[in-house]
A and B are shown apart, each in its own frame.
Chain A
Amino acid sequence: MLASLGRVMGSHLLGRQLLWGVLGIVVLWLVSRFSSVVLYRLAPIAYGAALALLVAVLIVGNVRSGTRGWFVLGPVSFQPSEIARLATALMIAAWYAGRKDMRFTAGSVAVLVFLIGLPVGLILLEPDLGVALTYLPIALAALWIGGLPARAWVAIGVAGILLAGATWTWGLKPYQKDRILTVLEPARDPFGAGYQVRQSKIAIGSGMVMGQGLGRGSQSVLRFLPAQHTDFIFAAWAEATGFAGGSLLLAAYALLLWRISRTALVAKDRFGLVISTLIGAWLAFQILVNLSMVVGWLPTTGITLPLFSYGGSSLVTTCAALGVVSAVWRDRFVNV
């Protein structure tokens, strides 16, 4: 895979991603050394720092494809909105842990909405709708874990539909509408909005059972497949390794999510349980949304496949999140 990735991305990108990978492993190991109590204490500080970075990036950040969301330091660039997601999850978990009563009131919902709304609002100012969307699973998981009553979920559902309708009417640009319509009707515009998804589906399907071989998939090598080292990396992988490789990768993700869910269920305290669940929900959301997109079930949104797609800050943040889960796992028998 590395070799084929190298061909596709160029050795320059590959080397850079390997460097990020090493950094990610170091971060994972470092974070996992913290005890969960320290993480709990650090949460408000991390949250405050993240908010500060989000404000700073709006003032001094660099613009990329219309979004003021990057800090560029020499050859390295990173997105504070990625770090802020972990900080927000930590803050929510810490808030849960610090609560006195067990009842979930309208006040609790207000606090949760405020905690998430603050960073999301700042990100929407950049504006980066795609990244803001990745806060959605954290928000929903936080509400779910707190035990929001059924009628409130109905209300959220109705509000969601109304919001979607309003966004469709006033908020979306024509190309975004095209992407959504293409999911409903793939043959609608096979050479315009539907082109990427069509090529992705061809790549996945043409891998058949055992794949065309690494570096030999015609869709990837001849560049019919777009964004094949980022959004559509799974399609490139499935074309090369077939259903066998695709299901293997799927199994690996399932194993990862299984370990996170085990950690959540055996966590000794509320903080460990909530933070593991939130991180699990966030990774599961990215994995499921990205895979649904490459198989043609969801419109292309720019949500990458965690740990697999090219992208430094995303990789390091994911590693840091896994480090937190790992710390919770280490502490499962410790009584503080």
Chain B
Amino acid sequence: MRLREDMTPYRRRAGLLFLGVFAALVIILLRLFSMGVLHGSSWRKMAENNRLRTVPLEARRGRVYDRNGAILAENRPSFQLLVFPDEMQEPGRTCLFLARAGFGSAADLERLFRSRIGRSMAPRIIADDLSWSQVLKIRSHQSDHPELAILVGARRHYPFGKLAAHAVGYLRRISRSELASHPGLDPNALVGASGVEQLQNGTLAGVSGERKIVVSAIGQQLGVVSEKPPIAGRDLTLTLDMRLQNVAAKALGSRQGAVVALDPRTGAIRVLYSSPAFDPNVFTGHLTSSQWKTLSEDPSHPLQDRAIQGVYPPGSTIKPFYALEALDEGVATPGWTIHCSGSTVLFGHTFHCWRRSGHGVVSMVRSLEVSCDIYYYHLGVNLGIDRMAAWLGRFGFGRATGSRLPGEQPGLVGTPAWVERVRHHRWYPGTTVSVAIGQGPILVTPLQLTRAYAALANGGRLVVPHLVEGSGPDRSTPLGIPPEDLDIIRRGLTAVVHGSEGTARRFKDLPMAGKTGTAQVAHLKEGSRGKDIPWKLRHHALFVGWAPLGHPRIVVGVVVEHGGEGASAAAPVVAAVIRAALGEGPSPVEAAPAAGNTAPRSVGAARSP
């Protein structure tokens, strides 16, 4: 080591080096100042979000009862799997773990994650109705998977299954587009997808709450910070009578079709059954895509509610309304007769009666009793299509009934104006002849048809069908039809069951009036009837009837698709429901309005066929 060496350049360089170090320390200090002082509160909020989790608290959905208190929809406790997307580090690993815990294949789960979660950070329920072993598997690996949590929630259950599926409806998860348009909604919410569940969703759903909890980095729950309790939904009582619904379903059996029963005095729906039906319970759990495919692609369309969405040509069931119109407009009198020889020539075409041998001399009452087509061909020509269509409109045909049931179809009442607008051709006069016997451009839903018959039964008031008990004031409208005209029609419809030639005379032991209908699906060759016709081309069978004769308490309408003859296929179903309905004595609640409102003076006349 040498003495007194010149160290100046070394000192200068060392000094510069340390100067650089201090400058860097100052920059770090500024960074700390910016983070802690200038932006501290936003970082503090992120720390809060780190340790605070918001867990949704489901609101109890209201129960649904039938009019006798039978439970149609209730809630059962169920374990749900909740995923916190912001805790999830590797979705792939989570999916693999869930696949091993028995939640389906990892690929399916990843697809589900993408569709249910997407880019959202809100916790999502991704599986429902977990088994004990699934719960245990997740609980025992909780520390490895802080993104998963088990929630005790409620699962919708429909004790009657298929029996009330269409009327009560089912639930579905809220869609992403609905969430996007209503950001305040709970992303885990279930909403009604059909039937009363959809119609009364606002009443049944309630308001979901939330709970803020403190968690550790491994997802351990340490305490509750705040809680907004959910508000339970309200219970609903329906007008439906499950006893009658059951009878209707049994009577219809495996055939496709629909049964509607109304209280003609109020419009309360007692039976709303569509066959084939589906089990709404499959929707409340975790519906797999294959289950959905099976349901939605079934050629018999089990998801369709035929009672309100199926449209059928009414066939002869439409005849009483034309007869009533003819009386009302003075086109015919009760004594006016025609001679039915089995066929007639109109507008250069030959039109046949369903009975090739003819009915002979036919008056109005007899025209209904034997369902003579020739009588109505002449009536239709004399009335003209415009007057007929307007008259049918008064009875609610061609538009929804006001039941507000989701998906209800308006049906169709064809007019020359409609034909020109939609089909772009002139109205053929022959079409009027078809419409006169309920064929051609006239389509009705079973609910519409039954409701129109309710107006015949209750003395001329068009009621609004409804499924929910006490749903507002009476919205029925009087049609202003003279009681003596109605009497004639009721006498004719009573003769259908109780007359010696009545098309439904095999049910004369019942105090029932009604009308058969057989609606053509395809034009069939001469003489081809019965079992040798392919099922798809067979006629639809219809029957609408009410009982008892004096003070009708129930109107039942039945359509059996491709069932053949109305009298043999549909009328027995109506008879079964009416028999069951009459078996029970009228309750005091029912009896009271019956005496006051619906006892027109002429009822006594209608009683004798």
Pick the residue among B10, B36, B46 that contacts A238 (CB under 8 A).
B36
Instruction: Given A191-B88, A205-B44, A224-B217, verify A273-B36 contact (CB < 8 Å).
Output: no
Mask, A141-160, CB within 8 Å of B = 1, is 10011010000000000000
A206-B44 in contact (CB<8A): yes
Interface residues on B, range: 35 or more
Q: Bound state CA distance, A281 and B19, in angstroms?
A: 11
A250-B13 in contact (CB<8A): no
Which residues of the other chain, A, contact B89 by a CB distance below 8 angstroms? 191-192, 195
Interface centre among B7, B17, B214, B216, by most chain A C-beta atoms within 10 angstroms, is: B17
Segment at the A interface, from B25-33, B458-466, B556-564: B25-33
A243-B33 in contact (CB<8A): yes
Cβ of A330 within 8 Å of any chain B Cβ, yes or no, is no
Cβ of A201 within 8 Å of any chain B Cβ, yes or no, is yes
Cβ of A292 within 8 Å of any chain B Cβ, yes or no, is yes
Q: Bound state CA distance, A201 and B50, in angstroms?
A: 13
Segment at the B interface, from A10-18, A162-170, A257-265: A257-265
What total count of A-B pairs have CB within 8 Å?
A: 155
Cβ of B37 within 8 Å of any chain A Cβ, yes or no, is yes
| Min C-beta distance of B45 to chain A, whole Å | 8
Pick the residue among A192, A222, A242 that contacts B36 (CB under 8 A).
A242
Instruction: Given A250-B32, A270-B7, A288-B28, verify A208-B41 contact (CB < 8 Å).
Output: yes
| Min C-beta distance of A2 to chain B, whole Å | 22
B43-A277 in contact (CB<8A): no
A219-B13 in contact (CB<8A): no
Q: Bound state CA distance, A312 and B149, in angstroms?
A: 41
The B contact surface, by secondary structure, is: helix
Cβ of A51 within 8 Å of any chain B Cβ, yes or no, is no
Q: Bound state CA distance, A141 and B532, in angstroms?
A: 105
Pick the residue among B1, B25, B48 that contacts A253 (CB under 8 A).
B25
Cβ of B5 within 8 Å of any chain A Cβ, yes or no, is yes
Instruction: Given A145-B10, A246-B32, verify A98-B1 contact (CB < 8 Å).
Output: yes
The A contact surface, by secondary structure, is: helix
Q: Bound state CA distance, A274 and B5, in angstroms?
A: 14
Cβ of A111 within 8 Å of any chain B Cβ, yes or no, is no
A336-B1 in contact (CB<8A): yes
Which residues of the other chain, B, contact A9 by a CB distance below 8 angstroms? none
A264-B43 in contact (CB<8A): no
Which residues of the other chain, A, contact B17 by a CB distance below 8 angstroms? 141, 144-145, 277, 280-281
Cβ of B500 within 8 Å of any chain A Cβ, yes or no, is no
16 contacts between A and B (CB under 8 A): A40-B1, A98-B1, A102-B9, A144-B17, A204-B36, A218-B48, A222-B215, A222-B217, A222-B222, A224-B47, A243-B33, A261-B14, A267-B7, A269-B5, A270-B7, A295-B28
Given contacts A205-B46, A280-B21, 10 further A-B contacts (CB under 8 A): A102-B9, A144-B17, A145-B13, A202-B50, A206-B46, A209-B37, A223-B216, A243-B37, A250-B32, A291-B28
- Chain A residues with CB under 8 Å of chain B are 37, 40, 97-98, 102, 141, 144-145, 147, 191-192, 195, 199, 201-209, 218-219, 222-224, 238, 242-243, 246-247, 250, 253-254, 257-258, 260-261, 264-265, 267, 269-271, 273-274, 276-277, 280-281, 284, 287-288, 291-292, 295, 297, 335-336
